[in-house]
A and B are shown apart, each in its own frame.
Chain A
Amino acid sequence: MREEILLGNGAIALGLMEGGCQVLTSYPGTPSSEILPEFVRLMKLEGVDAYTEWSTNEKVAVDNAFAAAVSGKRAACCMKQVGLNVAADSLMSAAYMGTTGGLVIVSCDDPGPHSSQTEQDTRLMARLAKVPVLDPSNPREARQMAKLAMELSERFKIPVILRPAIRVCHARQNLSWEPISGEGKRASFEKDPLRWAATPRFRFILHGELNKKLREIAGLFERLEAHNFHNLDPGKSYSLGIVASGVPYSVVKDILEEEGRGDVPLLKIGTPYPFPESLARAFMSQCEKVLVIEETDTVIEYFLREKERVLGRLSGHVPSEGELVPQVVHRVLEGAFKEMGLDPLGPGGDGQVMELVKGLDLPVRRPTLCPGCPHRAAFFAIRKGRAKTIFTSDIGCYTLGLNLGAVDTCLDMGAAITMASGFYHAFRQDGIDQSIVATIGDSTFYHSGTAGLLNAVYNDARFVLVILDNQITAMTGMQPTPGLGIRADGTQGRAISLERVVKGCGIEFVEVVDPYDIKAMGKVLKEAEAHVKDPQGGIAVIISRHPCIIAYREEAIAERKSVTVTEDCDQCNLCIERFECPALYVDDKLGRTAVNQAICTGCGVCLQVCPRDAIVEV
C-alpha cells in the first residue's frame, strides 16, 4: 500500500487509473492542468501502461478519447470548464452516439473566478448534453467518483462528466491505495454506420436511446448511498433542511459539525444530473423549508419542485456570483436560520476586523510577468509609440501585458487573431486604416490560431500578428507545446515548425526575432507595419522567440548581467510603470529606483529601457 498527500487532481488521476483508464487526453487549463501529469507520474510508479497525450485543444482531446471509447477501451479527457465550450460540439453528438467502452470527461470549474474568463457551471453543460454528471466535495470523493464515472460510462455506454471545482482540484489530502494492475481491453471497432455516422433520421432514434439510458441512471442514482445521502431522523420533522453538493457540501458539513447543529438535517447530492428526484422529495417531506447551497449556478434548485418551500439563489438567499467560501456560507446559513427562527450560529469572523483590514489600504497585488520574462521585453517594444493602436491579445501569461498597456482585449482562445481581423473590417468599412497589433502565445496559436489566421488571410484583413513563442505553455504550469514536440509522457514526438505553419496559412511576411533585443524588435515591427500598409502586402507575422525564464532558466539567460541604477535616475518611473519588472522598485531612502537583487534574473533588458541611461551594468 502507498500513501501520499495528493493534490485533488492527483486523486482524480488515481481514480481514473483505478477505473482502468487506458487512454487519457487533455489540454491544460487551470484548474485542470495537473491531472494528466499526475496520471503520467502514477503510471510510472505503478508500472501501468496507458496512452496519454497533450492534445492541441479540448475538442481534439474529446474526439481522440471518444474514438478510443468506441473501440471498447476506457478513455478519459481533462480540461477546464471553458475548454468544454470548445469541445461542446463533440460532447453533444457523443452523448447521442454513446460508446462501447468508457468515456469520462473531467471538466474543472472555477467559481470565483480565480483563473478563468467565466464562472460557468459544467453541470448545466451536462444537462444540455444530456449526460450524467458527478460533483465531488473533496479529493477523496473525487477519486471514488472518477472510478465510478468510468464504470457507469461503460455499463450504460454513455459519456459521463466528472465536475470537480477548483477547491477539489487544488485541495490536498492524504490518500492511500493498493497496487493497480492496469489491465485493459484490446481495441475493436464494430462498423455500425447507423450509429457512428448517423444521419438526422437515425439521430432521432439515438435520442430516444439516450433518454432511456438517463431514466435508468436516474433510478440508480436514487439508491447511490455513497454519494447521495441525508441524516434525517425518520418520523421527525424539521423547520429547515439543507441541500448541498460539491465543495459547498463539505463547507456546510464542517460548519454544522463544529457547531453541533443536529437540529438542521443535510442532504448531499453527489449526482446533480440525472437528478435523484424521489430522494429529494422524501427529504423535503420532513422539512418545512429547504436551503440549497451549490456552486456556481442553480441546478439542484431548478430541479426541486414546490419552489415556495425552497430558499436559494432564486429567492435571493444565496449570492448569484462568486465562490461559496466558508465566510459566505456562514452568512447564508445565519440569514436562513434567523428567518426560520432557529438558534443562531456561532461567530464566523467579525465585521470589525474586515473594517480594520480595509482601513489599512493594503497594496493591491496584481499579478505581473516574472522578472526576466521575454513577454515584457516584447510588449515594451510593441507599446512604444503606439498609443492609438488597438492591441488584441489572448489567454496565457501574456494577458498580463495588460499592465504594460499593450493588451486591450482578451475574449477567448484564439481571439487575438479573429478580433484583429474583425476590428480591421469594422474600421475599413468607414474608410479608416486602424493600426492593430495582435499578440498570441505559441500554445494558444496551436490551440486555435490557424482557423482565424486562414480566415483573415482569405478575407484580406491587415494587421501585425506577434506570436509570443516562449516554447512552453507557461501559465498553466509548464506543459510542452507541439513546437518542441515533447509529449505528455516525456518522450520525443515530432516538432512542428511555427514558421512553416504560418507560411502554410498564406502569410508572406514572417520574421523571427529575439525580444530581449528591444531595438531589433522595434525595427521588425516597423517593417511589419510597412508590409501591412502596402497595397501589395498583407498580414505580417513576427515570431518573438525567447524561452520562458521559469521553464528554461539556463537557456533563457545566455549571459547573466549584473545591473544597478546610478544617480542619473530622476525618478521618472518609466521603468516601473511602463516596463514593470518586479525587480525594480523605488528606494525611498535613496530617492531613486533600485534593483532587488534577490529576484533580479540578470536578463539585462532594463538596460535598454531607461531614457536617461541610469540603469547600467556593473
Chain B
Amino acid sequence: METVNFVLGGLGGQGILFMTKILAQAALDKGINVMGAETHGMAQRGGSVVSHLRLGDVESSLVGAGRAHFLLSLEESEAYRNLPFLAKGGQLYANAGDNSFPKSEVKRYLDGIGAIYRAVPAGRIAMELEAPMSANLALLGYFSAFGQGPLSQEELRKTVDMVSPDRFKEINLRVFDAGFQKGREEA
C-alpha cells in the first residue's frame, strides 16, 4: 500500500489524541502498519496541538510539509496553521461554521493546489447532543461519510465502539453518527 498521511490539528483538550487513536486502531485492525506522532506536555494545556498519523511502512513518525493527504482540524485557525502540511490535491476537513470557511485568500490557495475542503460545525453538533467535548467524534463521523482514504465508515464506527470507555460508548456513537449524517447529506 502507498503510505497515507494524516495531520490532525486542534487545541489542547479537544481530543486530538483520541481521534488519532481511532484512526490508527481502525487501520491496524485492517492489517495496515501505523506510525504516528503526538503532542504531550505543556501544549496540552490549551496550546496548539497537532498529531501526525502515517499508514503504511515508514521509518519516521512525522509528516513532511506538503505531504499530508488528509488534514483534519478541530478548529478553524488550527486548520490554517497546519496548511503547509497539505499535499497537492489533498483534502481538508475542518470544524468551522460552514459558510465563512475558508477565508478567501486560503480558498484561492486551496483551489490552486487542487485541494478539496469541507467544513462542518462539529462543535455545534456535539453541543446539541449535550456532549460539548466530543466535537472530535462529530468531525470523524463527518469525514467518514465521504469514503475517502483506506478506512470505511463501518470500520471507523466499529473502532469508536470498541475503544470508547463504557460510560461514553453510547454518546460517542451518537455524536459520530450525527457527524456522519451531516456528511451524507453533502456527499
Contact = CB atoms under 8 A, between A and B. Distances in A.
Nearest to B37: A171
Interface in B121-151: 123, 127, 132-133
Contacts, number: 157
B60 A598 contact: no
Interface string B101-112: 001011001000
Interface string B8-45: 00011100000011001100100001111111111111
A253 B46 contact: no
Interface in A18-54: 30-31, 33-34
Contact of A172 (B12, B36, B106): B36
What's the interface size class on B, roughly? 35 or more
Nearest to A373: B45
B83 A353 contact: yes
Interface in A564-588: 582
A310 interface: no
Interface in A352-387: 352-354, 356-357, 359-360, 362-363, 365-370
B40 A137 contact: no
Interface residues of A, number: 57
Interface in A162-178: 167, 170-174
A439 B43 CA distance: 21
A360 B103 contact: yes
A30 B41 contact: yes
A368 B34 contact: no
B63 A365 contact: no
Interface in A463-477: 475-477
B28 A367 contact: no
A562 interface: no
B84 A357 contact: yes
A360 B107 CA distance: 13
A100 interface: no
A349 B35 contact: no
Given A326-B63, A326-B65, A327-B64, A359 B46 contact: no
A255 B59 CA distance: 10
A31 to B, nearest CB: 7
B28 A357 contact: no
A331 B184 CA distance: 41
Given A5-B28, A167-B61, A327-B65, A353 B109 contact: yes
B46 A115 contact: no
Contacts of A174: 24, 28, 33-34
B58 interface: yes
A5 B24 contact: yes
B97 interface: no
B133 A598 contact: yes
A228 interface: no
Nearest to A350: B66
Given A356-B83, A362-B77, A138 B41 contact: no
A356 B105 contact: yes
A360 B80 contact: yes
B156 to A, nearest CB: 15
Contact of B46 (A3, A34, A325, A367): A367
B100 to A, nearest CB: 14
A298 interface: no
B38 A172 contact: yes
B36 A254 contact: no
A597 B20 CA distance: 26
B127 A5 contact: no
B171 interface: no
Nearest to A170: B38
Contacts of A400: 42, 45
21 contacts: A5-B21, A31-B41, A33-B40, A114-B42, A114-B43, A115-B40, A171-B37, A172-B34, A172-B38, A174-B34, A251-B64, A254-B59, A254-B64, A349-B66, A349-B84, A360-B103, A360-B106, A365-B47, A366-B47, A368-B46, A400-B45
**3 closest Cβ pairs, A-B complex:** A349-B65, A115-B41, A326-B64
